[in-house]
A and B are shown apart, each in its own frame.
Chain A
Amino acid sequence: MQKSLHIDPAKCTGCLQCEMACSYEHTGAINPSKSRIKVFDFEHEGRKVPYTCTQCADAWCMNACPVDAIVLDAATGAKVVKEAICVGCKVCTIACPFGTVNYMADVGKVQKCDLCGGSPKCAEACPTAAITYVDADWTGLDRMRAWAAKANTAAVAA
């Protein structure tokens, strides 16, 4: 079963445990400035929204890369940057409509979410289940269940 990250902003408290976990997994340091998932704080509306790569099936970044440094991880569906190949041209950062591929000036490469090889640390770290890792074909399952629960159909004994 393919899985994907599923984000429910209504559950996010803005604690940034996801950013810490992501940066630690990928850099060995607790460093939200290097996180591939970012929590945005729309303070005047009182909303916090975690945002990261959705792993497009036909990915703009992968198509745009002139040196084939972005490759498909067949096991997870993640589009993964091969740092050894990346030349830091940034074309992928332009191609991505969502802004989720970003250039790291200090190392001259781009970075993006790679789903941590199938166990995304952001989801593991999230204390409120605002970020979950679920069946990619059923990301709407919880919402469907919630609506189903509201359906006004009384149980009838057979």
Chain B
Amino acid sequence: MGWNRKVLRVNLSAGTCTPEPLNMAWANDYLGSRGLASKYLISEIDPKVDPLSPDNKMIMATGPLTGTMASTGGRYTVVTKGALTNAIACSNSGGFFGAEMKFAGWDMIIFEGKSPKPVYLYVENDKAELRDAAHLWGKTCWEAEETIKRQHQDPLIRVSSIGGAGENQVMFACIVNDLHRAAGRSGVGAVMGSKNLKAVAIRGTKGVSGIKDFPAFLAATNAAKKVLADNAVTGQGLPKYGTQVLMNVINEMGALPTRNHRDVQFEEAGKISAEAMHEKRPSDGKAQLVTNAACFGCTIACGRISKIDETHFSVKNSPKYWGASGGLEYEAAWALGAANGVGDLEALQYANLLCNEHGMDPISFGATVGAAMEMYETGILSKEQIGLDAPFGSAEALCQLVEMTAHGKGFGKELGLGSARLCAKYGHPELSMSVKGQEFPAYDSRGIQGMGLAYATSNRGACHLRGYTVASEVLGIPVKTDPLTTDGKPELVKAFQDATGIFDSAGICVFTSFAWTLADVQPQLQAACEGDWSMDKLNLVGERIWNMERQFNLAAGLSAKDDDLPPRLKTEPAKTGPAKGLVNGLDKMKPEYYKVRGWDSAGVPEQATLQRLGL
């Protein structure tokens, strides 16, 4: 079995930590991590609960492959009702924290209630206790991790924490582990902050011993690693260029949302691309990129470790940012850069560092700045209201706004609402480039049509990681489809959504799916886990997870009208590039998608669908 069969339930109101057996019937139906934790959450909370109230719960969960030599087997997810979205939230993170939870003997940790004062959870194998965090409250994620390690005199502890953003309930606050990996989206950090939970610190020395068939597992994981190594994307592109390999590619396709989606191509994309990160700077003769880095067990190693230009205006007086640290991934570089028209690579790195340090999702932060800049340029927001000049393209404004948001100062407090609430507050909800309150990631759905449907129907709000049809529409994985048409996209979106549920629930990284299909994951799961994990079963479980999440959202009060895109994407055609003249064809795709899903015209799963899926 890949599971430890043990759950830690932490009641923050009562201050208790109680072990309980994992519900194995549910594990058999929902696999682990995303699927299984969502099943727990949905069974335990009122779907209409206020995400920031003590009645919401938050689950940190591993999958059966987490903490194993399956490549990328280090993932954990944070499942809760999202502060940003009021929908089911499931944020996935790499690093080393998830594997450590597994090594300590736990599959997941369920947090419920609210602590009367700031606390952190300390777990050392079977021992779990809540400890006072008065000395940690107000500290950054980086300071909290360092303080906990020093205080316990144990450099091998793994820490997951919130920074000021989570404490102050910035709506897109994230949870940061291992300094620069994050459960990033949907405001899971705000939920953690609302519970007065500063950090989770884990040391595990028990290891994973319960693999069902170790020899078969080693054979399966070795074969799958070879597939990754032999693939051009996972074997060469990602290690060398990281996800940033996409910047120039997507720009050329006319699908790089620019200046709050006014444009679909960014004239300075090259300056903020992977290639630019490799180029030597005039100031110090060094490239921004120092090296690539892997999360636990990852044989791809797409992570970027970078050094900022010490002479850049943002950090010239702040040596603490001069060391190597987590560098720009594609989504962050886009959201902080193209979305705001900022082409200053070092400014983007600075904003990214502050997002990591203070625990903010750079996608939602950057996109919210983009909305604010548009409101500034159109006169909806004045210089006095913002406190500075904030035109598109201003690196100075970006750097000041990230500081103000991280520290909850001035207009930063309003940016912390996220773009949907911010734009609504100023009477222009249509300027928020979001779905279900969550900002778009880095693909314009006028140039990649399938992504419009994937965003609109994503259970956690706009997201590229719920149905990454970019793989097919741009990269031809597993088959090439035309990005400019809507034909066949409903089926494609469904297939990606269902398969992704399995990657997420297994405890592996969805980036493996550039090279792996479910057929590569299946033998690894079958060797690790008891029970039937055939392809048929996996397909069924993936679809079951999607529909379960959907039912939660419907019960939470969302409906078909929330499966929508901002009017800009449906009415303002792309101005340049291959998609010139096109809008997104969501209204054509959506009814078809509902049919393919076995949902009625209101987007509600039909009885027959629920029965087929055992829901």
Which single member of B225, B294, B306 contacts A14 (CB below 8 Å)? B294
Most chain A beta-carbon contacts within 10 A, residue among B71, B96, B229, B291: B291
Q: How far is B11's CA from A14's CA once the two chains are assembled, in angstroms?
A: 35
Asked if B299 is at the interface of the complex by the 8 Å CB criterion, the answer is: yes
Chain B's nearest CB lies how many Å from the CB of A114?
19
Find the B residue at minimum CB distance from A28.
Answer: B209
C-alpha gap A20/B229 in the complex (Å):
19
**A97 at the B interface (CB under 8 A):** no
* Contact A23 B207, beta carbon cutoff 8 Å: yes
**Chain A positions within 8 Å of B103 at CB level:** 31-33
Contacts of A34 in B (CB 8 A): 205, 207
B69-124 interface with A by 8 A CB criterion: 69, 71, 96, 99, 103
By a CB distance below 8 angstroms, the chain B residues around A27 are 207
- In the complex, how many angstroms separate the beta carbon of B528 from the nearest chain A beta carbon? 11
Contacts of B204 in A (CB 8 A): 33
**Inter-chain contacts of A29 with B (CB < 8 A):** 206-209
CB distance from A118 to the nearest CB of B (A): 19
Q: Is the CB of B67 within 8 A of A44?
A: no
Instruction: Please determine whether A17 and B208 come into contact, CB atoms closer than 8 angstroms.
Output: no
A21 within 8 A of B: yes
- Size category of the binding interface on chain B: 35 or more
Please tell me if A43 contacts chain B, counting CB pairs below 8 Å. yes
| Cβ A24 vs Cβ B290 within 8 A | no
B207 adjacent to A13 (CB under 8 Å): no
Contact B305–A30 (Cβ < 8 Å): no
How far does the alpha carbon of A45 sit from the alpha carbon of B306 in the complex, in Å?
9
A15-B209 contact in complex given A21-B69, A33-B204, A44-B323, C-beta closer than 8 Å: no
- B230-277: which residues lie under 8 A (CB-CB) from chain A? 239
Are B325 and A43 in touch, CB under 8 angstroms? yes
Partner of B292, one of A13, A23, A127: A13
Q: Is the CB of B324 within 8 A of A31?
A: no
A119: min CB distance to chain B, Å: 14
Decide if B69 touches A17 in the complex (CB within 8 Å): yes
Contact with A along B290-309 (1 / 0, CB 8 A): 11111111110101011100
Cβ-based interface call for A48 (8 A):
yes
> B179 to chain A: which residues have CB within 8 Å?
43
Please judge, given known A-B contacts A30-B67, A30-B68, A33-B156, whether A127 and B209 are in contact too, CB under 8 Å.
Answer: no
With A33-B103, A127-B225 known as contacts, the answer to whether A13 contacts B294 (CB < 8 A) is yes
Q: Tell me whether A31 and B225 are in contact in the complex, defined as CB-CB below 8 angstroms, given that A14-B294, A16-B296 are known contacts.
A: no
Tell me if A13 and B297 are in contact (CB < 8 A): no
CB of B69 within 8 A of CB of A127, answer no
B323 near A33: Cβ-Cβ < 8 Å: no
Residue A125 interfacial (CB < 8 Å): yes
The reply to whether A46 and B290 form a contact with Cβ atoms under 8 Å apart is yes
Of the residues B156, B206, B291, contact of A31 by C-beta under 8 Å: B206
Name the contact of B207 in the complex, choosing from A14, A30, A43 (C-beta under 8 A): A30
**Which residues of A pack against B, CB within 8 Å?**
13-17, 20-21, 23-24, 27-34, 43-48, 125, 127-128
Which 8 pairs show the lowest CB-CB distances between chains A and B?
A31-B207, A46-B324, A44-B323, A15-B294, A46-B290, A29-B209, A29-B207, A13-B301
10 A–B contacts, CB within 8 A, in A order: A15-B294, A23-B207, A32-B103, A33-B103, A33-B156, A43-B324, A43-B325, A44-B323, A45-B290, A125-B69
